[in-house]
Amino acid sequence: MRLSVVFAVLTLTGSAFAADFTFKPAGTLVSGSGTGRVDAKIYAPGMRFPIEKAPAYANSQVWGHGGSSGPGGGQCDTENFSYPWWDNYCETRSWSMPLCPAGKGHQGQDIRAATCTKNVHATVATTDGKITSIGTYSVYLTGNDGTVYRYLHMGSLAVSTGQTVKKGQLMGKVSNEFGGTPTTTHLHFDLEQNVSGIGKVFVPPYTSLVQAYQTLLGPTVAKLDAKLVSQGSSAEVDPSGKADYRVCAGDSFHFWFELENTGSVTWTDSGGAGDGQAVRLGVVGSGNDPFTSSNRVSLKESANPEVVPGGGDCSDQPKCRRAVFSKTPGIAGKAPGTPGVYESRWRLVDELKAWFGPEVALSFDVVDCGGDGAAGSAGAGGSAGSAGAGGVIDGGASGGAGGGQKTHVLKDDAGDCSCRVPARRSGFSGWVLLGLGLAFFRRRHSTSPGSSQSRRS
């Protein structure tokens, strides 16, 4: 547990903590520490969290490790610096507390900062207001609405009585000041308000703290999430518009999907049991993909087998935040022998854990191109004019050997299938040119018409 917390502190951004933050409901106290007040009301809506930075841990000083009624251990025990949060507003004390079921209680909420080291973690003003009193170990901030926010046990005080402060302004540091024998290193924080029929009392601060902390953390980032950046195929863009691409029955070609890690954990396919350690592109639903005759493409088949959420803005080397499934020239496909429109539909999966990110898909119109182009009418209809226009990146990237022999290279003025546009640039090997073109395209993430689409991103 401690290891994971340390790891998170060292490597993740603040927002990443949001996915990890958990809290017990208001009024739920540690067993044996008293009876809590179940109250969902947020008494200080919109206040700023009183500790400058996350993570912070609301829990009991007395019933936690290192406390006089705790389970033993020292105050720096990892469990004290772990979620979930625990309310301790009505925890057993002798103070008069009209809002607590026992009529007595603790008055406020104890909060530990990221670590147990004192005089390191800054506290800040929850709201615009004035410092109305400073005691031996307490600072009173009175907000413009009359709410009194009390901060106890601070060191390195940065404010003085009578001073006007702005929300977020430095107040001091989380410490263990207690006017003599020190307490544990923590901030005791409470709220005083006028409650009709009762008068000025300590009101529950827990729900206000939860709200303020969630604001500090920012939007929740899922551990596993992704977005589609681009996709494409070596096949010809379908001029009829029936599908994304058009291929001849039985032909080999390639296609690919570029996905970005927008979650909070790194993707690998190391086979580990942790989150994101068995990431593959999987066929949605049962059965195999019609072109690959398989249902998985491992991340290991990508040029970037380690996709880091905060990584570089790239996709073709480890620790980038994007990966192309799969590495150049792409996922190898072979068109079925039966004409028709086929869809290749995929989604990322962390094997045995969860599917995540968007579904991605490409459709291919598989047409009968005949033996050598003579019977070119099949499926292609009257689309002759557009065939071949635009210099479509060709299937030649399929690894070359025999490619020109096996595929149906048709004259693109033949008015038929044009499933393969011959490379006609004199003096160059078309295959080499096209291969380079594809590599260049990928590096630049440009959107060469006819070779990629990003409309589903």
Task: State the residues that interact with Zn ion by CB under 5 A.
Answer: 110, 188
Q: Which is nearer to Zn ion, 110 or 306 (CB)?
A: 110
Q: What is the nearest approach in angstroms of Zn ion to the Cβ of residue 31?
A: 18
Q: How far is CA 342 from the centre of its chain?
A: 32
Q: Which is nearer to Zn ion, 188 or 347 (CB)?
A: 188
Q: Which is nearer to Zn ion, 110 or 350 (CB)?
A: 110
Q: What is the nearest approach in angstroms of Zn ion to the Cβ of residue 51?
A: 14
Q: Which is nearer to Zn ion, 188 or 280 (CB)?
A: 188
Long-range contacts of residues 63-71, Cβ cutoff 8 Å, at least 24 apart: 63/30, 63/32, 63/33, 63/88, 63/91, 64/30, 66/184, 67/184, 69/32, 69/33
Q: What is the nearest approach in angstroms of Zn ion to the Cβ of residue 12?
A: 29
Q: Work out the number of other CB atoms within 10 angstroms of the CB of residue 247.
A: 32
Report how many helices (DSSP H) and strands (DSSP E) the chain contains, helices first: 5, 23
CB within 8 Å of 286: residues ≥ 6 apart = none
Q: What is the nearest approach in angstroms of Zn ion to the Cβ of residue 133?
A: 18
96 with 115: CB under 8 angstroms? Answer: no
For residue 60, what are its two tokens? 């009991």
Q: What is the nearest approach in angstroms of Zn ion to the Cβ of residue 23?
A: 17
| Rounded Cα distance, 360 and 283, in Å | 10
Q: Which is nearer to Zn ion, 21 or 189 (CB)?
A: 189
CB within 8 Å of 199: residues ≥ 6 apart = none
223 with 196: CB under 8 angstroms? Answer: no
Tokens 């546009």 belong to 421
Number of residues that this document lists for the chain: 457
What b/e readout covers 48-75, taking b as 16+ CB neighbours within 10 angstroms? bbbbbebbbbbbbbbbbbbbeebeeeeb
Strand partners, 192: 148, 202
Q: Which is nearer to Zn ion, 106 or 280 (CB)?
A: 106
In the bound complex, which residue of the shown chain has the CB atom lying closest to Zn ion?
Answer: 188
Q: Which is nearer to Zn ion, 188 or 322 (CB)?
A: 188
Q: Which is nearer to Zn ion, 108 or 263 (CB)?
A: 108
Q: What is the nearest approach in angstroms of Zn ion to the Cβ of residue 353?
A: 40
Q: What is the nearest approach in angstroms of Zn ion to the Cβ of residue 53?
A: 21
Q: Which is nearer to Zn ion, 138 or 270 (CB)?
A: 138
Q: What is the nearest approach in angstroms of Zn ion to the Cβ of residue 89?
A: 9
3-state SS assignment for residue 334 = strand
Nearest residue to 356 (alpha-carbon basis) of 296, 284, 253: 284
CA distance readout (Å), 343 to 51, 109, 242, 335, 357: 53, 57, 11, 11, 19
| Rounded Cα distance, 436 and 430, in Å | 10
263 with 226: CB under 8 angstroms? Answer: yes
Strand partners, 124: 170
| Rounded Cα distance, 343 and 399, in Å | 24
Q: Which is nearer to Zn ion, 151 or 356 (CB)?
A: 151
Q: Which is nearer to Zn ion, 187 or 226 (CB)?
A: 187
Q: What is the nearest approach in angstroms of Zn ion to the Cβ of residue 151?
A: 11
Q: What is the nearest approach in angstroms of Zn ion to the Cβ of residue 203?
A: 15
Q: What is the nearest approach in angstroms of Zn ion to the Cβ of residue 34?
A: 13
